[in-house]
Amino acid sequence: MGDVTQDLVKLYAESDALGIGELVRGKQVKATEVIETAIHIIESLNPKLNAVVIETFDLARSLSSAPHKGLFAGVPYLLKNLGTMWKDTALTFGTSYLKDFVCPVDSEIVRKMKASGLVPIGRSNTPEYGWCITSEPRLYGPTINPWNPDITAGGSSGGSAAAVAARIVPIADASDGGGSIRVPASCCGVVGLKPSRGRLSYGPHEADMWFGSIYFLCNTRTVRDTAAYLDAVSGNLPGDPYYAPRPEKGWLAGLSDRPRKLNIGYTLRAPWGAPFAPEVTTAVENAVKLFETLGHTVEEYDIKADIEAAWWCYNDIIAVETFTEFTQHAKFVGRSPQEKDLEPFNWSMLEYARILSAAEYSASIGAVRRAGQSIAAELAAFDVFVSPTLTQPPRPVGYWSMTDGNRERYLDRWSDAAYMFSHNISGLPAMSVPLFLADGDTPIGIQIVGRHGDEAALLRLAAQAEEAEPWIGRKPAICAI
């Protein structure tokens, strides 16, 4: 183990990101020691988990030797292997087609990560090009759920969530176009907040992504880490197409406010597909009882918008946007992707985009916009709306395999995640919290949704729940301690 002691591993693995930052700034532990501890844990656990697919150990060691400022000073961090540009680091999007790509610039969110003191030690596993709610790319193989190797770790931020759950890192990069922050948070028993539309900038290399339906934030083990990270990376650049007003008080500071009484709606009905699994129904009912015990009012309500119809229109948008992204990447590679380069589902999306007319694409954009508007209008009556993150427990490894090249058949199975993409298109903030554990090894997340711009209500409610039903001490089968 070299200079990494068992005591240091224990201290590291039991601390959240803010706790590690406090230790480093207080000089109770050196940032270099923290990074070596994280590297040691990766080398010990990653062969079992396959959560980290690109290592940036040299960069981490270099950064840990520099002066340390910010709330997350010296805190080890995993970048997601999808989208997030940290200059001069490899980024493959989970596909051999981009195996030689190196980020030419920093994205705006990375500039803010750097200012907060975060230190990247690698990139986390994702499905190829991200449009999947498991993390099993052909290029790298599946990420293993640290709770149970037979069930998915979720996706597309599955490597990040698994690494956080196993305490490889206390916080990791995550992004969400249809549940990709929240689904793996649910499957791995960690925290995942998808912020409001316009909360973070796509800039400077992108102006818009999927018409404001892609979101960036993180996976963590504690609510306060999520609040602090939101403080650190939120904000806009001039000309950004979407905007969400900041509260007068920061989100971390706001956690200390006395929670007000909330009007909470909840549902026990799936928008389409199979009804909630029994253990999922139990999880929602328990959460609602907890919120009521905490002094909030609760009311059952089923969303009336046609979420299933919106799903198919949303995938028209995604097919075209994915085609456009491949067109951009072809400039780097020097050729367009061929069928052999991609997993069958992704190839089917490109083939579908080629036959979709401009009129059909425009109609789908309009339908998705109207559906998002309807969902937001319906839920405006509630301070918070509660649903399961997924309508079913985590599926077995292989269930979401992208080897299925039948586009319609593959997408028809996504009813599990009906309450995921619906809030990508609504623009409302939505958060998965790990309030339920079925059979001792199957995490089931509860999703809480707020009004646009009101992440503060979600964070305060989640903090209340975290205090009342602590999850921080839970340890999966594969864990650093």
The catalytic residue positions are 80, 156, 180
Residue type, 45: L
Distance (Å, whole) CA 93 – CA 76: 21
Residue type, 333: V
Q: Residue 395 is encoded by which pair of tokens?
A: 């599926």
User: What are the strands of the beta sheet with 119-124, ordered from one edge?
Assistant: 52-55, 119-124, 76-80, 171-176, 215-220, 191-194, 430-438, 442-450, 384-388, 263-266, 297-300
Distance (Å, whole) CA 274 – CA 237: 42
Distance (Å, whole) CA 284 – CA 300: 11
Cβ atoms within 10 Å of 149's Cβ, excluding its own: 15
Nearest to 186 by CA among 438, 401, 481: 438
Residue 220 CB contacts under 8 Å (≥ 6 apart), including other chains: 16, 17, 164, 170, 171, 172, 190, 191, 226, 229
Distance (Å, whole) CA 443 – CA 425: 26
Cβ atoms within 10 Å of 141's Cβ, excluding its own: 12
